[in-house]
Structure 1
Amino acid sequence: MAGTGSEPFPGTFLNPKRIDTNLSKEVLDLLVEYYRNAYGKDFAALSDIHAAPSAIPVLPKVKNAYGRLKIGSEVFGSMYSKRHVTSAKILSQFLHDNTKDTYPGIVQFYFEHIIHFPKVL
């Protein structure tokens, strides 16, 4: 029996929008690392799958990339939406061994990505 699913997202993506675009190698590697941490499984970029043939492949193509994100009544921009760069500035907090570190950054863009998990028998 095959299954599909998705995780609900509380916001709405806003234009500008790019359809079927490829991620840079740097962003793809970060996405692979995210999937490993989020799901506790072995993932590999499609271009690196030969080094880990049992890993779940992560394709470099994203379904859609967006310049802005709306959550509730607040709109967050990105570098891709040049008119909204001011609202693209963020502070990210990371927890590690009971230590909380905060890092400033700028959102490059928002995207929808699809991952295909292997069928479970």
Structure 2
Amino acid sequence: MIGSLMMCVGVVVLLFGMLAGIAMGIQHDFTLGPAHAHLNLVGGVLLFLFGFYYRLVPAAGTMLLARIQGWLHIVGGILFPAGVAGVLLRGPAFEAAPIVGSLMVVVAMALFTVVVFRTSRA
């Protein structure tokens, strides 16, 4: 279940990130380039890869740790680049969002590491 959710959210986030990149290109304004890159990689690609692992190794996707990791990364993977965009557009008043979001994705990655080591022989 969490694997399918992560794959679905990942492709939607990646589609949004790609459309944002096209919009930046059309406008010749790449101010949000760092937010676009983080949205695509952290919010799109990583979510999809995590979901793919959970689908590939079904035992991993049934763990409570996997659901915690999945939701943590979904929220953090969107908050982090949105916060970067906020800082780029509105200044340092928005610094808390990318800090919190980045910490969430790092913790999610650590949890995923634990999941992989526990289930890689499954």
- Higher-Rg structure is 1
Structure richer in strand, relative to its length: 1
TM-score by length of structure 1 reads 0.27
Structure richer in helix, relative to its length: 2
TM-score by length of structure 2 reads 0.27
